[in-house]
């Protein structure tokens, strides 16, 4: 018999989960949050009213449209490139979309390959889908070329390769020509995670342009970043219809609630308004890239809405000193760096003022 209120050790937990902690950046109630690469500008009152109207006219005693065709059509229209609803899949954040991709194409005895440093959730997607997680290093400047990727594919023999561009946490872009060369030389599922693509200096340089020629390509996107919809939880992918069908096999039925579908649909109808601050956020990032070195810091060139800045001998001390001044950034990435998301002008002013008072030793 198991006693009431058992410890985890009293339960038949999967062995690979023993000692694991739930993932997540600290969610702290502080004045300035520059830690999870959100768009800091909330939707307008008019937009919120539209969303409320869509929710209040929804149907809740029936299950929602399992195939969410209206939303998939809107997402296809947003992406362009000749895509239609059969090319689109979506879920509660691109985290869940990736779990579908790995549920379908990973699994026991199979490997997923990524290029580090990269997004810290990938190992968890792999673990949760019983897929082996294997990494290969990026170059010293965090770039990747086709030979790096193809050599790693030859060594690891993955069924799923994930290339993140712009990469989190470095902000580094991998050119479309590199992705094209990889696709010409592998049959693995190649997921290009473009969560931050709208912030790139050239947002039109996207792997979407390769979909017409490559049935093993998956382009992953999210409404959480540029689209200012992190709380709405809507991530999506574009791929060949057969890949979408594979995701439909492994998803939980009705995984996208009626509310999510309704609100995301309103946001997409007003895409221009949702994306209106992207230019400002790009400029804020570029200012950080300029100002960091002027203030004596090292920065990593970034095409996303965040910048790695450092280097501190004890970055945790620097992180804590910023937090003590009400500014939350992210302690992640290569040794000595902190990752700072682009905020509003007031938030950035608070960040620069706090940064000037940090006296943690540098490397
Ligand atoms: N991919 C990358 C590279 C990310 O940085 C993030 C969010 N931090 C995601 C995917 C997941 O975003 P979401 O689940 O909110 O769509």
- Give the CATH number of domain 21-41+277-356; options: 3.40.190.10, 3.90.1150.10, 3.40.50.970, 3.20.20.30: 3.90.1150.10
155-175 pLDDT tens trace: 999 999 999 999 999 999 999
pTM of the entire predicted model: 0.97
Distance of alpha carbon 168 from alpha carbon 165, whole angstroms: 8
The residue to mutate among 36, 119, 128, 302, having the most atoms of ligand 1 within 8 angstroms of its beta carbon, is: 119
Domain range list for the chain: 21-41+277-356, 53-273
CB of 172 closer than 8 Å to CB of 339: no
Closest residue to atom 12 of ligand 1, CA basis: 94
- The pLDDT value recorded for residue 243 is 98
- The pLDDT value recorded for residue 12 is 95
- The pLDDT value recorded for residue 26 is 83
- The pLDDT value recorded for residue 23 is 81
Helix 315-324 to helix 345-356 angle (10° resolution) is 120
The residue to mutate among 24, 95, 123, having the most atoms of ligand 1 within 8 angstroms of its beta carbon, is: 95
- At residue 28, the 3 state secondary structure works out as coil
- The pLDDT value recorded for residue 218 is 98
- The pLDDT value recorded for residue 25 is 80
- At residue 132, the 3 state secondary structure works out as strand
Domain 53-273 in this protein, CATH class: alpha beta
180-208 pLDDT tens trace: 999 999 999 999 999 999 999 999 999 99
How many angstroms separate the first and last alpha carbons of the chain? 55
- The pLDDT value recorded for residue 196 is 98
- In what helix (H) or strand (E) does residue 91 lie, and over which residues does it extend? strand 88-91
Q: Could you give the count of Cα atoms lying within 13 Å of 32 in the half-sphere of its Cβ?
A: 25
Instruction: State which residues of the chain have pLDDT below 50.
Output: none
CB of 328 closer than 8 Å to CB of 35: yes
Closest residue to atom 1 of ligand 1, CA basis: 195
Q: Do domains 21-41+277-356 and 53-273 have the same CATH topology?
A: no
The residue to mutate among 199, 222, 225, 237, having the most atoms of ligand 1 within 8 angstroms of its beta carbon, is: 222
CB of 239 closer than 8 Å to CB of 217: yes
Closest residue to atom 4 of ligand 1, CA basis: 195
- The pLDDT value recorded for residue 314 is 97
- The pLDDT value recorded for residue 21 is 86
- The pLDDT value recorded for residue 42 is 94
For ligand 1, what atom is nearest to the CA of residue 164?
3
């Amino acid at each position: 018999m198991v006693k009431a209120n058992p410890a985890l050790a009293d339960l038949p937990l999967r062995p690979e989960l023993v000692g694991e902690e739930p993932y997540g950046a600290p969610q702290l109630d502080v004045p300035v949050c520059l830690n999870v690469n959100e768009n800091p500008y909330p939707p307008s009152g008019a937009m919120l009213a539209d969303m409320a109207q869509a929710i209040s006219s929804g149907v809740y005693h029936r299950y929602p449209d399992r195939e969410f065709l209206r939303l998939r059509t809107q997402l296809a229209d947003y992406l362009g490139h000749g895509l239609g609803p059969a090319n689109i899949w979506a879920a509660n954040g691109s985290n869940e979309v990736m779990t579908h991709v790995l549920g379908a194409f990973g699994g026991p005895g199979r490997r997923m390959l990524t290029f580090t440093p990269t997004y810290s959730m990938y190992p968890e997607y792999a673990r949760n889908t019983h897929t082996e997680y294997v990494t290969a290093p990026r170059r010293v400047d965090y770039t990747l070329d086709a030979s790096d990727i193809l050599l790693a594919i030859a060594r690891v023999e993955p069924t799923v390769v994930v290339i993140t561009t712009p990469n989190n946490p470095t902000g580094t872009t991998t050119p479309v020509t590199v992705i094209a060369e990889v696709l010409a030389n592998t049959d693995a599922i190649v997921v290009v995670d473009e969560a931050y693509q709208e912030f790139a200096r050239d947002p039109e340089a996207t792997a979407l342009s390769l979909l017409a020629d490559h049935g093993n390509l998956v382009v992953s996107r999210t409404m959480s970043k540029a689209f200012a919809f992190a709380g709405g939880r809507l991530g999506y992918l574009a791929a060949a219809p057969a890949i979408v069908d594979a995701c439909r096999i492994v998803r939980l039925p009705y995984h996208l609630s009626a509310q999510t579908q309704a609100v995301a649909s309103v946001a997409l109808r007003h895409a221009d308004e949702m994306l209106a601050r992207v230019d400002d956020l790009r400029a804020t990032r570029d200012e950080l890239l300029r100002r960091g070195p002027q203030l004596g810091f090292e920065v990593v060139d970034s095409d996303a809405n965040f910048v790695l800045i450092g280097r501190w001998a004890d970055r945790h001390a620097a992180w804590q000193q910023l937090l003590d001044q009400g500014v939350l950034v992210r302690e992640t990435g290569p040794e000595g760096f902190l990752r700072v998301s682009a905020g509003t002008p007031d938030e950035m002013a608070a960040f620069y003022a706090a940064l000037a008072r940090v006296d943690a030793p540098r490397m």
